[in-house]
Amino acid sequence: MRTGLFGLRSSAVVAAVSVVGGIGALGGVEAGEARAVNPSFSNEFSRESLDSLKSEVRDLFYHGWTNYMDIAFPEDELMPLSCSGQSADLDDPMNMGLNDVLGGYSVTLVDSLDMFAIMGDDDLFVQYVADVEKYVSFNVSSTVQVFETTIRGMGGLLSAHLYATIPRLGHRINESEYNGHLLGLAYDLGERLLPAFDTVSGIPHPRVHLQEGVVPLPGQSKLITETCTSGAGSMLLEFSLLSRLTGDPRFEKAARRAFFQLWARRASTNLVGITIDAVSGNWQSVITGVGAGVDSFYEYALKYYVLFGDKSFFEVFETAYEALKKYSFDGWMFHNVNFSTGIYITSWIDALGAFFPGLQVLAGDLTSAIKNHLVYYKLWNTYGGIPERWSTGIHDAIDSVVLEWYPLRPEFIESNYYLYQATKDPFYLQVGASTLRDLQRINKVACGVAGTQDVRTGELSDRMESFFLSETVKYLYVLFDEENILNKEFSNYVYSTEAHPLWYDESVLEYSSVERFPELASKIADNLEVLEIPRYELDLFTTHDESYNDDEDCSIRPSVMFQRIRDIWQNRKREQLASYKIRPVKPEPQCTVWDTTNSGPFLQSSIASWNGFYTLDNFYDYTKPDWITTNHPDRPDAIELVPEFHTNFVDSQSTCRAAVSSQVEILFAVPSGEASKTPYSVGYNHGHPSLKGQHLVVALDLYGKRVRLERKENFVGPNSTFVITAVDDIDVKDVLLVHNLDLSGNDARLIQMVNNTVLFQGFRIENILIDF
């Protein structure tokens, strides 16, 4: 079946693509084996159906986790196709794709630890916290990337430590069973990473040997000093929290210095580059954007402010975001530009940029977040994942893939979670359910969950990176777990860039600081005395002022922020969203659909009912790769076209629908693939050359819908009648006259009928897009 951009039906006239065979056996496991899943699931999103989806996410987590522990532990990472484990590649020190993250400290265990608390599996949480004390050590002969080890190792330890100590989080471990060893390990790791920051520029070296400090890689005579902006400037949350919990100021001071040294080198555009030399402090690349190399620099500028209340970081974020909107954002996506001039310099975007809509939500720019997220949603819809790089300038589903792998990254699912929390629009639950289905269909194998090596062919990779369990699955779980404390917590908590929840407030200082653990406190105090370093006075660090005027900014507390954005969305939608014409829900919907907030801000999907929802289909006209339609015929043609979802949330006959204008415009397909727009009113004659003076008669609310047309007669001639046979993949009765098309002249020979389907120049006409 021909599909439009990223799996959605297109209005352009296009050729069918031949289907090839499946991918066959992978690593000895048949492609469908251990991945079979019931394609049907509830689209009502009641508490029962959300609980069912949450249980499926839990099962997916434990499928990956159990295989890791049974097959790979204590290695760093599971290899799900070969059913084995792996750590650093000691034979090839230059294999930095592995060695940067696999340090020989059971990284999957450490990175996944807080998931057991988040899922409420307290006995297992206690068990694996104890296993960390038993098995994990950073006194290993490994050269690791400072950034990856910080966010996976230190972040995982600190988050689990907070869960193990703060009573209100509900997972506190009895002091007789927990001696603060997670905090002690984080401190030990911090000391091993600190030598990387000993540079004249203040910008850290990218890598450090965990035993020897900053030394060249084996077999190399020189240090590799080029680092990326996100890698150098995004240790802020973990290092600062470590300082405040232990009283050792070195970590936060080093991380803050690195961040501001990078910001001080920004161009006159207020943009920073993506790579820099740590020794000289000179930029190494002119490219910038919001994806790989720079993503978490912006993320931590905002989140540091949220967590610790330092407005200087919010000022950095605000200035940088204004520059990105000015130079990089086209209204839908952020492009890569020259950071000095702001001129576009590449045509591709990358998978890591999919996190940015979530950050836009946190910053309060919901309108831009919705549109930016749709770009990546449509990518997922086409490939069953997000290719690492994808070109916006090549209009072919295969050739547009610049870097072909999808290693189970979480960024798109992360943004989807943020958008649901802010809007409570069921569209985002539908996206979450559909991405879960794809992970089950495509990536789940007998020995775990495998990344996609090539989205063009469906080939899988023999890796399950630790972030799949610590981030990807986590954001799906909390999306469906309405009652999780992370969705109700009234505090300044944030998710780290590795999705580790972090808190800093009075209860953190009371229950989680080193003072609660005398033996560890004495050890750190002795260390500071030897180093002649004054101890941080924890009571000097202020938390958020309860009298702070929340109206000044919506990023101060996530729960407050989400509620405030929901209020704006519900009560002032018309003003807030007028710039791109999202149609608001009627103030008092008259239908009954389950309401997740009990206050009724979203009883149906304003996103999927928005006429601009289909805009991207007009830019690009793609078919899905053959392997998806061949190997997964049960996969819906498009996420929002699942009939049950339409019935409950986007049904055109529902009183929950958005208001409909009597004015419509028809986007009519022409052979070249280009399109022209002509406004029509019901019964209005217009001399559009493609319609030869005939008129459009609308007998159905077609606002924001995709419509499939078929010609009623089995002959070609003047005044042939076309009828609507499906609306958004939902079949309708054959009684709806769309228009009479005069096929006289040269147009007549271009139209033919095959099996009651309209063909134009030999190509099947799937639909015409009806839009405002």
What length does the chain have?
A: 772
Question: What average pLDDT is seen over the chain?
Answer: 76
> In which band, very low, low, confident or very high, does the pLDDT at 173 lie, cut at 50, 70 and 90?
very high
- Is residue 569 within 8 A of residue 601, CB to CB? The reply is yes
pLDDT for 541-557, tens place per residue?
Answer: 443 333 223 333 333 34
Q: Is residue 694 part of a domain?
A: yes
pLDDT for 641-669, tens place per residue?
Answer: 666 676 667 644 433 332 222 222 333 32
- Chain position carrying tokens 């206690």: 126
Q: Which of 550, 566, 660, 676 is nearest to 618 (CA)?
A: 676
pLDDT for 269-308, tens place per residue?
Answer: 999 999 999 999 999 999 999 999 999 999 999 999 999 9
pLDDT for 735-769, tens place per residue?
Answer: 344 443 444 444 444 444 444 444 544 444 444 43
Among 387-396, 563-572, 644-653, the range scoring the smallest mean pLDDT is: 563-572
510 Cβ contact partners less than 8 Å away, ≥ 6 residues apart: none
What was the pLDDT predicted at 59? 98
Q: Which of 38, 56, 95, 63 is nearest to 469 (CA)?
A: 63
- Is residue 481 within 8 A of residue 54, CB to CB? The reply is yes
Q: Which residues are catalytic?
A: 148, 295, 388, 411
Question: Residue 234 CB: number of other CB atoms within 10 A?
Answer: 30
Question: Has residue 683 got a pLDDT over 60?
Answer: no
Domain, as residue range, for 719: 660-771
- Per-residue pLDDT, averaged over 41-45, amounts to 67
Question: Has residue 591 got a pLDDT over 80?
Answer: no
Among 21-25, 182-186, 697-701, the range scoring the smallest mean pLDDT is: 21-25
Burial of 618 (C-beta count, 10 Å sphere; 0-12/13-18/19+): middle
515 Cβ contact partners less than 8 Å away, ≥ 6 residues apart: 521
Q: Which of 562, 559, 561, 556 is nearest to 544 (CA)?
A: 556
What was the pLDDT predicted at 724? 53
What was the pLDDT predicted at 717? 43
Question: Has residue 703 got a pLDDT over 50?
Answer: no
Burial of 50 (C-beta count, 10 Å sphere; 0-12/13-18/19+): buried
Question: Residue 686 CB: number of other CB atoms within 10 A?
Answer: 14
Q: What is the DSSP letter of 404?
A: -
Share of the chain above pLDDT 70, in %: 67
Q: Is residue 678 part of a domain?
A: yes
Question: Has residue 197 got a pLDDT over 70?
Answer: yes
Question: Residue 232 CB: number of other CB atoms within 10 A?
Answer: 28
- Per-residue pLDDT, averaged over 330-355, amounts to 94
Strands (E), 116-259: 143-145, 207-209, 226-228
- Is residue 126 within 8 A of residue 181, CB to CB? The reply is no
Question: Which tokens is 413 given?
Answer: 């699912």
Sequence letter at residue 635: R
Q: Is residue 169 part of a domain?
A: no
> In which band, very low, low, confident or very high, does the pLDDT at 600 lie, cut at 50, 70 and 90?
very low
- How far is Cα 156 from Cα 499, in angstroms, rounded to an integer? 9
Q: Which of 361, 468, 346 is nearest to 407 (CA)?
A: 468
Q: Is residue 680 part of a domain?
A: yes
- How far is Cα 158 from Cα 495, in angstroms, rounded to an integer? 12
- Per-residue pLDDT, averaged over 318-333, amounts to 94
Q: Is residue 699 part of a domain?
A: yes
- Is residue 328 within 8 A of residue 289, CB to CB? The reply is yes
- Per-residue pLDDT, averaged over 310-324, amounts to 95
Angle between helices 107-118 and 122-135 (to 10 degrees): 160
Partners of residue 277 on adjacent β-strands: 226
269 is in an annotated binding site: no
464 Cβ contact partners less than 8 Å away, ≥ 6 residues apart: 64, 68, 77, 78, 79, 80, 408, 448, 449, 450, 451
- How far is Cα 495 from Cα 502, in angstroms, rounded to an integer? 6
User: What is the helix (H) or strand (E) element at residue 93, kind and residue range?
Assistant: none
Among 71-80, 125-134, 546-555, the range scoring the smallest mean pLDDT is: 546-555
- How far is Cα 67 from Cα 85, in angstroms, rounded to an integer? 10
Q: Using H for helix, E for strand and C for coil, what is the string for 665-680?
A: EEEEECCCCCEEEEEE
Number of independent structural domains in the chain: 1
- Is residue 228 within 8 A of residue 489, CB to CB? The reply is no
Question: Residue 742 CB: number of other CB atoms within 10 A?
Answer: 17
Long-range pairs of 757-762 with CB within 8 A, sequence gap ≥ 24: 757/710, 758/709, 758/710, 758/711, 758/722, 760/13, 760/669, 760/671, 761/13, 761/671, 762/15
Question: Which tokens is 602 given?
Answer: 């979203």
Q: Is residue 30 part of a domain?
A: no
Question: Residue 520 CB: number of other CB atoms within 10 A?
Answer: 18
Q: Which of 489, 515, 514 is nearest to 502 (CA)?
A: 489
Q: Is residue 377 part of a domain?
A: no
The phi, psi pair for 94, rounded to 5°, reads -85, 0
User: What is the helix (H) or strand (E) element at residue 349, kind and residue range?
Assistant: strand 348-350
Sequence letter at residue 287: I
Partners of residue 208 on adjacent β-strands: 144
pLDDT for 205-242, tens place per residue?
Answer: 999 999 999 999 988 999 999 999 999 999 999 999 99
Question: Has residue 158 got a pLDDT over 70?
Answer: yes
Sign of the alpha-carbon torsion through 67, 68, 72, 73: negative
Question: Which tokens is 123 given?
Answer: 């006995």
- How far is Cα 322 from Cα 199, in angstroms, rounded to an integer? 31
Question: Which tokens is 419 given?
Answer: 């958008």
92 Cβ contact partners less than 8 Å away, ≥ 6 residues apart: none
* Number of helices and strands in the chain (H, E): 25, 29
Q: Output the CA–CA distances (angstroms, integers) from residue 280 to 193, 198, 257, 262, 283, in the order listed.
A: 20, 13, 15, 12, 9
The phi, psi pair for 663, rounded to 5°, reads -90, 130
Q: Is residue 700 part of a domain?
A: yes
Sign of the alpha-carbon torsion through 132, 133, 138, 140: negative
Q: Using H for helix, E for strand and C for coil, what is the string for 699-730?
A: CCCCCCEEEEEEECCCCCCCCEEEEEEEECCE
Question: Which tokens is 626 given?
Answer: 């053959």
What was the pLDDT predicted at 426? 87
Q: Which of 440, 422, 436 is nearest to 597 (CA)?
A: 422
The number of CA neighbours under 13 Å toward the Cβ of 132 is 31
Burial of 481 (C-beta count, 10 Å sphere; 0-12/13-18/19+): buried
> In which band, very low, low, confident or very high, does the pLDDT at 536 lie, cut at 50, 70 and 90?
confident
- How far is Cα 626 from Cα 632, in angstroms, rounded to an integer? 10
Q: Output the CA–CA distances (angstroms, integers) from residue 358 to 131, 234, 269, 373, 477, in the order listed.
A: 34, 17, 24, 8, 16
Q: Which of 386, 395, 281, 269 is nearest to 337 (CA)?
A: 269
